[in-house]
Amino acid sequence: MALDRWIALILLGICLVYGYTAWFTMDSSLAPFMKRNPIWPSTFPKVLSVLGIVASTIILLGFEKSDDKPGEIDYRRLGDYHLGQALLLLVLMVAYALFLRPAGFLFSTAGFLILGSYILGERKWHLMIPIAIVATFIVWYLVQEVLGIFLRPLPTMLGG
């Protein structure tokens, strides 16, 4: 069995356990007034588990494969792939996690999106910067104002 199918099998097992937890154990401890809500705390985990099970099953059964084999990853030629970009993105993710609190959500997320797109090869600054800023503000607004989850928008020194 190919590596992608082994990974899909492992993910299928994880999604089945996650789905069992979401469908059968999370809802039993709800308060009585929460049981009348249309959306429960387990709704999103239920959707994620179903999507994960469907995606893993599609990969296991090979439906995503096309007739033309584009080529598998050759582990003996890892230097031919863009490992530098992948490692830089991993470093950027760690830096984002470390700067999220001190720099605030707006600065750290916009910086992450701008630097991440630059690492991946985007050079149209006149599009990249406004899109990152608008996307960051929209996500902050939805999480802060719509969902009511506090996200420090600005650094502490700027009153965040």
Q: Are residues 108 and 63 in the same domain?
A: no
Handedness of CA 58, 51, 114, 104 (dihedral sign): negative
Q: Are residues 86 and 114 in the same domain?
A: yes
- The answer, as to whether pTM is greater than 0.75, is no
Q: Are residues 39 and 87 in the same domain?
A: no
Q: Are residues 18 and 60 in the same domain?
A: yes
Please, what is the end-to-end C-alpha distance for the chain in angstroms? 52
Q: Are residues 93 and 50 in the same domain?
A: no
Q: Which residues contact 141 (CB under 8 A, 6 or more apart)?
A: none
108-128 pLDDT, tens digit per residue, is 999 999 999 999 988 999 999
**Residue 39 within any structural domain of the chain:** yes
Query: What DSSP element (H or E) covers 37?
Result: none
What pLDDT is recorded for position 44? 87
Average pLDDT of the chain?
Answer: 84
Number of H-type helices and E-type strands within the chain: 5, 0
Q: Are residues 150 and 91 in the same domain?
A: yes
Q: Are residues 85 and 152 in the same domain?
A: yes
Q: Are residues 138 and 87 in the same domain?
A: yes
The total domain count for the chain is 2
**Residue 73 within any structural domain of the chain:** no
Q: Which of 34, 68, 102 is the last residue of a domain?
A: 68
**Residue 27 within any structural domain of the chain:** yes
> Domain containing 14: what range?
3-68
**Residue 63 within any structural domain of the chain:** yes
Average of per-residue pLDDT across 8-16:
93
37-86 pLDDT, tens digit per residue, is 777 777 888 899 999 999 999 988 887 766 555 566 666 776 777 788 88
